[in-house]
Amino acid sequence: MRLTALTFDLDDTLWANRPVMERAEEEHYAWLDGEIGHAASFPLEEYTRRRMTLGLEHPLRRGDFTWLRHEAMKTMLRDFGHDDHEASHWSQVAIERFLVLRHELNPFPEASGILEELASHFRLGAITNGNVDLTRLALDHHFEFSIAAGEWLAPKPDARPFLAAMARLGSVPSTTLHVGDSWKEDALPAARLGMQVAWIDVKGLGAPGPLPAGVHVLSHVRELPALLIRLTGQALSS
Ligand SMILES: [Mg+2]
């Protein structure tokens, strides 16, 4: 099989994201509370609930997590008694604080070496539904670009970020393999477009349905080079 390009999901594909988000969420909220003392009236659960409600009220922006955070925080701080100016100011600095913490993450130890090796054989792009900014991470230089699908208002499983990535990588579905941990947002949409897929079954639960053609199950990104050797019939060493 001839493959020319790889697209990568980021969160939970190249690092374990849950501990990163839990820490970022707790710490930025505690920091804000230290500045303005809002958390006794508006605990973290209230902020979470407001973000979810806002996402339901604005379905097009449901994947634009930074916007949801900002808007939910602003209205909450108005309800706490801040005027518009103060509410905007504090929500802005709180989100910036959150984003700093959100980028304090450790990619899997093998990730950089694997990407380095793959980049000499394939063109690499990233597609994320999350609000990680790849340019703030050391892994950035392996990729030609990163598509923030949520901020494009077309979060995966929407086909558009996949099609845009292939257009930029000069590839077509049959010559492109997508790597990701989500069955619904990575494996299914990429397979439906006719791409090859390395589905990383992080939880080891197995596919929730019959495995579509072209979907290969891995348990960790470290298994990716061996899969690519098997699929392409070529050695990868540069
Ligand atoms: Mg993911």
Give one DSSP letter per residue of 46-75, joined into a string: HHHHHHHHHHHH-GGGTT-HHHHHHHHHHH
Predicted confidence at residue 235, as pLDDT, reads 84
pLDDT tens-place values along the chain, 238 residues long? 999 999 999 999 999 999 999 999 999 999 999 999 999 999 999 999 999 999 999 999 999 999 999 999 999 999 999 999 999 999 999 999 999 999 999 999 999 999 999 999 999 999 999 999 999 999 999 999 999 999 999 999 999 999 999 999 999 999 999 999 999 999 999 999 999 999 999 999 999 989 999 999 999 999 999 999 999 998 886 5
Predicted confidence at residue 238, as pLDDT, reads 54
Predicted confidence at residue 236, as pLDDT, reads 82
Which ranges in the chain are annotated with CATH 3.40.50.1000?
Answer: 5-16+107-232
CATH superfamily of 5-16+107-232: HAD superfamily/HAD-like (3.40.50.1000)
Question: How far is ligand 1, taken at its centre, from the CA of residue 185, in Å?
Answer: 8
Predicted confidence at residue 237, as pLDDT, reads 67
Predicted confidence at residue 52, as pLDDT, reads 96
Is 233 buried (19+), middle (13-18) or exposed (0-12) by CB count in 10 A? exposed
Name residues whose C-beta falls within 8 Å of residue 52's C-beta, 6 or more positions apart in sequence.
none
Question: How far is ligand 1, taken at its centre, from the CA of residue 180, in Å?
Answer: 6
Name residues whose C-beta falls within 8 Å of residue 163's C-beta, 6 or more positions apart in sequence.
193
pTM of the model: 0.94
Q: Quick one: fold of 18-102?
A: Four Helix Bundle (Hemerythrin (Met), subunit A) (1.20.120)
Which ranges in the chain are annotated with CATH 1.20.120.1600?
Answer: 18-102
Predicted confidence at residue 146, as pLDDT, reads 98
Question: How far is ligand 1, taken at its centre, from the CA of residue 57, in Å?
Answer: 24
Predicted confidence at residue 202, as pLDDT, reads 94
Question: How far is ligand 1, taken at its centre, from the CA of residue 234, in Å?
Answer: 28
Question: How far is ligand 1, taken at its centre, from the CA of residue 9, in Å?
Answer: 5
